Amino acid sequence: MATLAELKDLQLANHEKQLQIIAVADQEKRDLSKEEQDELDALQTEYEERKHQIEIREKADSISEELSAPKTPAIKGIVTNAEAAGEKIEPLARSPRSAVPEYARPIDRGRRGFNSMGEFALAVANYSRPGGEHDLRLRQMLAPTTYGSEGVGADGGFAVPPDFQAEINDRIAGEDTLLGMTDQLVTSSNSITIPVDESTAWQNAGGIQAVWMGEGAQGTQSKPVLQQRNIQVHKVMILVPVTDELISDAPAMDRYLRRKATEKINFEITRTIVKGTGAGQPLGILNSPALVSVSRATSGQINLADIENAYSRMFAQYRGQPGTVWLMNQDVEPQILALNSGTNNNVFFGAPNFGVQPTPGTFLLGHRIIYTQACETLGSKGDVYFAALGQYLTVMKGGGIRADVSTHIFFDYDQVAFRFIFRIAGMPWLSAPISPLNGSTTYSSAVTVAA
C-alpha cells in the first residue's frame, strides 16, 4: 500500500501528464483531440479517487503533523498570480519529502507561475546550488525520468515553461521568416510519406487526361501517376550557456535568450532552405535538381538582363503566390539600387503585389527583396534567387521547439545551459524543372543566376 508521500508524488505526476497534454494542443493552437480528451478524463478520474485516499490519511495524521512539523516561512522571491492580485493564499500541509509549502491555488499553466524566462533561469540556478532555495514551481518541470526526485536529477534538466517555448517558436515560424513563407506540414512522427503528382495540366501522356468524346462513345480511362516521397525530419540544436552574472539580472537574461535563440535557429533554417545539402538536413534550393540557372550577362555583376531572365524563368502561376520573393546577398544591393534610375524606375520599383509602399532596394518587379547571408557573394551562383517559397515543403515535428535547461553541463564554469531542439525537414515540391507544352524553355519554382 502506498504511503501518503508516495500518493502525493503520484498526484504530482498525474497533474504533470495533464499539463503536458494540454500544452501540446496549446502550442499547436488547436482544440484537444478526442483521444486527448479521453486521456484527460481518465487522468482526472484517477486524480479524484487518489485525492480521497490522501484526505483520509491526512485527517488521521493531522495531529502528529501539527506537532512535529516546524513552521516554514514562504519562499523568498516567489509571487504567485493570486498574490500579485492582492489575494491571500493559505499554505497547505507540507509533504514529508518537500521542503516548501504547497499552495492551494494552481499556478499559471502556460508560464508555470514565472513572469519571464529570466526569472525561470534564476530559479533553476538557485535550485541547483547547495543550500539554495527549492522553488515549488520547478517541481512540475523535472524531466519525467527523474520525476519525484528532490534533487536536480541525473540529467540536471528542467523543461522550459511552454509559453516561453511557444513565443520563440512563433518568432521562428512567423510570416516574416523564410520558414513562415514555406508550405508547412506538421507530423507527430519522425518521418512522413507523401504522394506527389508532378504531371502538368498540358501533359498528354501518363497521369489523368481530359479527352474529347463523341456522342455515345465509350469514355477513355486515365489514372494518376503518383510518386511516394518519404521525408525524414532532422534535428537542429543550439546550446546557450549563461553566466551567473547574467542570470542574476533576470530581465537582461530574458532579452538575451529570446533574441539569441531566435536569431540562431532562424538563420540556420534560412541557410538550409537556401542551400541545405539534404544529408542530415533539409534539401535547399541551391542543391535541388529543380533549380533553373540563367546565364550571367557580365562577370561579377547583376544587371537588368539577369533580372529579366530570372523573372521570366519562374513558372508564371507561381509569381502571384504568397511567399514569392527575391533572395540576395547584401553585397548585391548597390547594383540593385543602381537599377532604380531613369526609365527603369517604373519597371523595377512599381507597386508591389501586396499593398506595401515600395522603397528603393525593397521591391523588385513587385516582389519583396530579402537580403540574407545565406546567399553567395556577388558574382557566384546563388547570389540572387527568384523563389516561390510556397512551393517549398517544410515538415515540422509537432510541439514546435523543445527547450530544456541544465545546471550540470557547465557546472565548473558557474553557468546554466539552455538547450533548444527543433526537428524539421524540407525540400522543393518540384523534383525537376517544368517542361512547357510549346517550345523548349523550362520553368521552375526557383531560379538563380549562374556564376
Q: How confident is the model at residue 390 (pLDDT cuts 50, 70, 90)?
A: very high
Q: Give the pLDDT confidence score for residue 407 in this predicted structure.
A: 62
Question: How many Cα atoms sit within 13 Å of 377 on the Cβ side?
Answer: 1
Q: Give the pLDDT confidence score for residue 397 in this predicted structure.
A: 85
Q: How confident is the model at residue 261 (pLDDT cuts 50, 70, 90)?
A: confident
Domains with residue ranges and CATH for the chain: 160-199+224-451 (3.90.1690)
Return the C-alpha cell found at 84.
500579485
Q: Give the pLDDT confidence score for residue 276 in this predicted structure.
A: 95
Q: Give the pLDDT confidence score for residue 105 in this predicted structure.
A: 37
Mean of pLDDT values over 74-84: 41
Dist CA 380 CA 376 (whole Å): 6
Instruction: Give pLDDT tens digits for 125-168.
Output: 666 665 556 666 775 555 443 333 333 333 446 667 766 666 66
Mean of pLDDT values over 10-25: 80
Contact predicate 381/451, CB 8 Å: yes
User: Given a cut of 60, is residue 116 above it in pLDDT?
Assistant: yes
Q: Give the pLDDT confidence score for residue 355 in this predicted structure.
A: 37
Q: Give the pLDDT confidence score for residue 11 in this predicted structure.
A: 81
Dist CA 324 CA 365 (whole Å): 11
The residue with greater pLDDT, 33 or 353, is: 33
- The rounded Cα 268 to chain-centroid distance in angstroms is 12
**Parallel, antiparallel, or unpaired: how do β-strands 402-406 and 415-428 relate?**
antiparallel
Instruction: Give pLDDT tens digits for 211-252.
Output: 777 777 777 777 777 777 888 899 988 777 777 666 666 667
**Parallel, antiparallel, or unpaired: how do β-strands 446-449 and 384-388 relate?**
antiparallel
User: From its phi and psi, is residue 265 left (phi > 0), alpha (psi between -120 and 50) or beta?
Assistant: alpha
Q: Give the pLDDT confidence score for residue 155 in this predicted structure.
A: 45
Contacts of 282 (CB under 8 A, 6+ apart): 234, 272, 273, 276, 394, 424, 425, 426, 427
Dist CA 380 CA 300 (whole Å): 8
The residue with greater pLDDT, 50 or 208, is: 50
User: Given a cut of 50, is residue 302 above it in pLDDT?
Assistant: yes
Cell 542570470, residue?
247
Contact predicate 140/20, CB 8 Å: no
Q: Give the pLDDT confidence score for residue 92 in this predicted structure.
A: 37
- The rounded Cα 105 to chain-centroid distance in angstroms is 32
Q: How confident is the model at residue 104 (pLDDT cuts 50, 70, 90)?
A: very low
Instruction: Give pLDDT tens digits for 283-301.
Output: 999 999 999 999 999 999 9
Q: Give the pLDDT confidence score for residue 187 in this predicted structure.
A: 84
User: From its phi and psi, is residue 102 left (phi > 0), alpha (psi between -120 and 50) or beta?
Assistant: beta
User: Given a cut of 70, is residue 393 above it in pLDDT?
Assistant: yes
pTM for the structure as a whole = 0.63
Instruction: Give pLDDT tens digits for 316-365.
Output: 999 999 899 999 999 999 888 887 665 454 445 444 443 334 555 588 88
Dist CA 219 CA 211 (whole Å): 8
